[in-house]
Amino acid sequence: MLEALLKYRFLQYAVVSGVLASIVCGIIGVIIIEKKLVMMSGGIAHTSYGGVGLGYLMGFEPIIGAFIFSLLSSLGIGYIKRKGGERSDVLIGLFWSLGMALGILFIALMPGYPPDLSSYLFGSILSVTKADLYLITAITAVVTLLVVCLYNNWKAYIFDEEFAAVIGLNTAFFEYLLLILISMTVVALIRVVGIILALALLTAPAATAGILTADFRKRIIYSILLGCVFCIAGLWLSYELNIASGAMIVILSVICYLLVYAANYINKALKRKKALSGRAQD
């Protein structure tokens, strides 16, 4: 693949987009796991399908429609949740279903043959264009900048929201900002692994990093590195085996998490057994 990477532009775009997506996933993934927003992120990702269908129906860029739908759904869920309205899990399920249903409806309303939406549903990292690369780069830069510049504030909001409010932090602002960043991350992932598989790449590297270390900063760094490994390795395997790249990236991510989880579980069990046998001897 190395020879092909030096020769073909589409492979270069694929590798760069995978690395950029890993950066933004590594940052946002750790935060959403810590704030227990995994299912909300999945709901936001699937709601974006309605925007893709609307983009095709109205004749504008589908990825813009995906961002609009994901942004509106995330802000809507966040607003109702803060106002003490319907349970968030119910809202997530409803928005999830509504977005997918609207996407199907909009595509059905199109005249002529419906377009192939498999690249939006399952990703197509090998077909990333220069325009897609610019978009993913911009999203990665914005997300990274906002998290790095407000790092201490983010830590206070993530780990102790009540303390953050006491010291004068506007927790509502950070909640809505996080929802916006999640929506932006989803858009970056659509071209890499697709709407359906986005949740796995968003959470698997971060969850694996969470097993390896409890330090917040290290978790972000490990998550980014793991995401890069998964994307590049998945891209290489998909190129060699001629299978879907998005699916291979996700499969590697999940398998790695399960292996690390199993190894950590066995290690803890052995330590517990050793400690119990030591007490019995005493």
Q: What pLDDT, on the 0 to 100 scale, is given for residue 76?
A: 84
Q: What pLDDT, on the 0 to 100 scale, is given for residue 145?
A: 94
Q: What pLDDT, on the 0 to 100 scale, is given for residue 282?
A: 56
d(CA 16, CA 6) in angstroms, rounded, equals 13
CA distance readout (Å), 263 to 174, 178, 211: 36, 32, 10
pLDDT, tens digit (0-9, with 9 covering 90-100), for 107-153: 888 887 777 777 788 777 777 888 888 888 998 999 999 999 988 88
Query: Which residues of the chain fall below pLDDT 70?
Result: 1-7, 84-88, 278-282
Q: What pLDDT, on the 0 to 100 scale, is given for residue 130?
A: 85
Nearest by Cα to 252 from 18, 80, 76, 68 = 18
Local structure of 8: helix, strand or coil? coil
Q: What pLDDT, on the 0 to 100 scale, is given for residue 85?
A: 57
Q: What pLDDT, on the 0 to 100 scale, is given for residue 205?
A: 92
Would you tell me how many other CB atoms lie within 10 Å of the CB of residue 33? 19
Would you tell me how many other CB atoms lie within 10 Å of the CB of residue 270? 10
Burial class for 171, CB neighbours closer than 10 Å (0-12, 13-18, 19+): middle
CATH assignment of 2-281, among 3.50.50.60, 2.60.420.10, 1.10.3470.10, 3.40.50.150: 1.10.3470.10
Break the chain into its structural domains and give their ranges.
2-281
DSSP 147-159: HHHTHHHHHHHHH
Q: What pLDDT, on the 0 to 100 scale, is given for residue 73?
A: 87
Burial 46-66 (b: 16+ CB within 10 A, else e): bbbbbbbbbbbbeeeebbebb
Determine if the pTM surpasses 0.75: yes
pLDDT, tens digit (0-9, with 9 covering 90-100), for 218-230: 999 999 999 999 9
